[in-house]
Amino acid sequence: MKGVDWYFKTNLLVRILLGLILGAAAGLIFGPKIEWVTPFGDIFVRLLKMIVMPVVMFTLIVGAASIHPARLGRVGVKALVIYMLTTVAALALGLIMGNLLSPGRGLQLVGAASAFGKDLAQPSLIDTLINVVPTNPFSAISSGDILPTIFFSLMFGIGVAYLRESDQARVQDAANIVFRFFEGGAEVMYKVVHWILQYAPIGVFALIAVVFGNQGAEAFGPLGMVTLSVYLALAVHMILVYGVLLSLFRINPMHFFTRAKEAIITAFVTRSSGGTLPVSLGIAKEKMGISKGVYSFTLPLGATINMDGTAIYQGVCAIFVGFAIGSPLTFGQQLTVIMTAVLASIGTAGVPGAGAIMLLMVLNSVGLTVEPGTKVAMAYAMIFGIDALLDMGRTALNVTGDLAVTCVVAKSEGEIDEAYWRKKDDEVAASAVLG
Ligand code: ASP
C-alpha cells in the first residue's frame, strides 16, 4: 500500500496542485474522452455541499457569540465599525477589479447551465432584502437558503453573547453550555472539512480534467486572470484603503508597513489569521506601542471576523464564476454579493482555505448553486485548484487589516505610545520581539 501511504503523507497543498496539473494534462491529452471521470468530481462537489449549511450555522453562531457585549464599549464599537467599513470597501474593490479584468469571460464551460435550468429567476433587490428575514428558520436551513440562515444564526449568536454575561448564574451557565455546544459543532465541522480536503486532490483532478478535456489549453488564461485580479485588488486595498486610513489618523503608512511586515509575511506563509495572531500581538505591543486594553481585544476580534482579503477574493471569484458560465452577474446580484460576502467574511474562520468554503454560500446567494455536473461546479473547481495561491495573498491582507484598524482605534483613543513610532525603522527591526 505504498501509494496510499504516499498519498496521506504528502502535503495536502502539493497533492491539490498535483491534482490540478495532472487533471489539466489528462484533459489536454485525452480531450472529451476523459469525461468518464466526471463522477469522481461530482462526489467532491456533493461533499462540499454537504457541509456548507452546518459550517455557516456553527461558525456564525460562534463568531457572533464570541463578541462580549460587556466589552463593547467605545473601543469595541469603533473597531467593529471600521472593520465592517473596510470589508465593504474591499468587496467593492474586488467587484470593480473583477468587472474591469473580467476573468472567465469567453470561457465556454460545457455542463448543465445550473441545477434548475438556465433561466434561474433573480428576485428583485427589495425582495432579496425582505427575504433575509426568515419566516421559519428551520425551513430556511433545510432548504439551503443562505441569507435567512445567516440572519437567524447572527441573531441567535448575539443572544448567546448577551446571556453569557447575564447576572443570573443559571442563565449564564445555560448560555455557556449552548456556546460550548456550537463551538464543539464548529470544531467538528472543521474536522470533517479536513477529511473532505483529503479527497480534494482527486475531486480537483476529475473536475479540471473535464474542463481541459472540453476546452483545451484555453482554460489556462482565465485562471491567470483570476490570480491577477485578486492580487491587484489586494495591493490596491493595502496601499489605498489602509494607506489613506492610517494617514487620516496621522500614522505614517511606511512606518506602519515596516513594523507590520513580520505579521504580513507570517500570514502569507501560514495562510492562517488565527495562526498569525501571536505575531500580530507581539508587534502591536513591542513595535507599535499600543496599549494592551486595545490590542488584546481588537486583534483577536479582527482575526475572527475581519477578513478584507477574503472579501476581495469572494468578490473577484463570484464575478469569475458568472463570466465562466456565460451569465455575468447583474448589478443587483453584485449588491447581494456585497451583502453576503461581508457576512461570509465574518463567518470565515482564520484557518487555511476557509474562505473557499464560504465562497460556496456567496455563490449560492446569487443563484449560482454548486451542483454536480453544472458549469458552476466546474468554474468553482478551477478556482479551488489554485486556492492555496489565492489564500496566501488574502490572509496577508486580512492580518494587515487587523493591525491597521488596531492602530487607528488606538490612536483615536490616545492609547498609542508615540515614542515607538519615532524610533528609526532599523532600530525597530533590531528590537523586535515576536511572541
Ligand atoms: N485563510 C484565511 C485566513 O486565515 C481565511 C480564508 O481562507 O479566506 O485569514
Q: pLDDT tens-digit profile of 332-389?
A: 899 989 988 888 887 787 888 889 988 988 998 888 888 888 889 889 988 888 888 8
| Ligand 1 binding pocket, CB closer than 6 Å | 271-273, 307, 310, 348, 350-355, 391, 394-395, 398
Residue 30 lies in a domain: yes
Mean pLDDT over 303-327 rounds to 92
The sign one gets for the Cα dihedral 140, 144, 145, 147 is positive
Indicate the helix (H) or strand (E) that contains 321. helix 308-324
Q: How far apart, in whole angstroms, are the C-alpha atoms of residue 197 and residue 208?
A: 16
Q: Which residue range forms the structural domain that includes residue 121?
A: 9-434
Q: Using CA positions, which residue lies closest to atom 1 of ligand 1?
A: 352
- Between the CA of 425 and the centroid of ligand 1 the distance, in Å, is 29
Report if residue 1 sits inside a domain.
no
Q: Highest-confidence range of 72-86, 278-292, 312-326, 360-374, by mean pLDDT?
A: 312-326
What is the SS3 assignment for 29-84? HHHHHHHHHHHHHHHHHHHHHHHHHHHHHHHHHHHHHCCCHHHCCHHHHHHHHHHH
How far does the centroid of ligand 1 lie from the alpha carbon of residue 20, in Å?
A: 21
Cell representation of residue 280: 500580530
Least confident of 12-21, 22-31, 167-176: 12-21
Check residue 116 and give its pLDDT.
Answer: 40
Up-side HSE of residue 14: CA atoms within 13 Å toward CB?
Answer: 6
Closest by CA to 371, choosing from 56, 34, 49, is 49
Q: How confident is the model at residue 265 (pLDDT cuts 50, 70, 90)?
A: confident
Which of the four pLDDT bands, split at 50, 70 and 90, describes residue 118?
very low
Q: Which three cell numbers stand for residue 359?
A: 465562497
Q: Is residue 4 in some structural domain?
A: no
Which residue reads 492580487 in cell numbers?
A: 231
Mutating to test ligand 1, I would choose from 83, 279, 348, 383 the residue with most ligand atoms within 8 A of its C-beta, which is 348
Please state, in angstroms and rounded to a whole number, the distance separating the CA atoms of residues 313 and 302: 18
For the chain, the average pLDDT equals: 85
Task: Say which range, 82-96, 238-252, 331-345, has the weakest mean pLDDT.
Answer: 331-345
Q: Would you give the distance in Å from CA 338 to the centre of its chain?
A: 13
Cβ pair 190, 351 in contact under 8 A: yes
Q: Which atom of ligand 1 is nearest to the CA of 394?
A: 8
Q: For residue 316, give the CATH number of its domain.
A: 1.10.3860.10
pLDDT, position 231: 96
> How many whole angstroms from 341 Cα to the centroid of ligand 1?
13
Domain presence at residue 330: yes
What pLDDT is attached to residue 113?
A: 54
Q: Is pLDDT above 80 for 146?
A: no
Atom of ligand 1 nearest to the CA of 309: 8
Residue 433: predicted pLDDT:
42
Nearest atom of ligand 1 to the alpha carbon of 348: 5
192 pLDDT band (50/70/90 cuts)?
Answer: confident
DSSP notation for 250-296: T--HHHHHHHHHHHHHHHHHH--HHHHHHHHHHHHHHTS-B-HHHHH
**pLDDT for residue 408 is more than 60:** yes
Distance from residue 277's CA to the centre of ligand 1 (Å) = 13
117 pLDDT tier (thresholds 50, 70, 90): very low
Please give the distance, rounded to the nearest whole angstrom, from the Cα atom of residue 197 to the centre of ligand 1: 15
Strand partners, 374: 112
For position 179, what pLDDT does the model report? 94
**Assigned domain for 236 exists:** yes
Q: How far is the CA of 130 from the centre of ligand 1 (A)?
A: 30
**Protein residue whose Cα sits closest to atom 8 of ligand 1:** 355
Ligand 1 pocket test: pick from 55, 391, 400, 402 the residue with the most ligand atoms within 8 Å of its Cβ.
391
Cα(430)–Cα(331) distance, integer angstroms: 50
Given a cut of 90, whether residue 326 has pLDDT beyond it is no
| Domain annotation covers residue 299 | yes
The total domain count for the chain is 1
How far, in Å, from the CA of 90 to the mean position of ligand 1? 15
pLDDT at position 315, please?
A: 95
Q: Is residue 97 within 8 Å of residue 316, measured between CB atoms?
A: yes
CA distances from 98 to 20, 38, 103, 236, 316 (A): 23, 29, 7, 13, 5
Q: What SS3 class is residue 374?
A: strand
Cα 63 to averaged position of ligand 1 atoms, centre (Å): 14
- Report the residue among 351, 358, 390, 399 best suited for mutation to probe ligand 1: largest number of ligand atoms under 8 A from its CB: 351
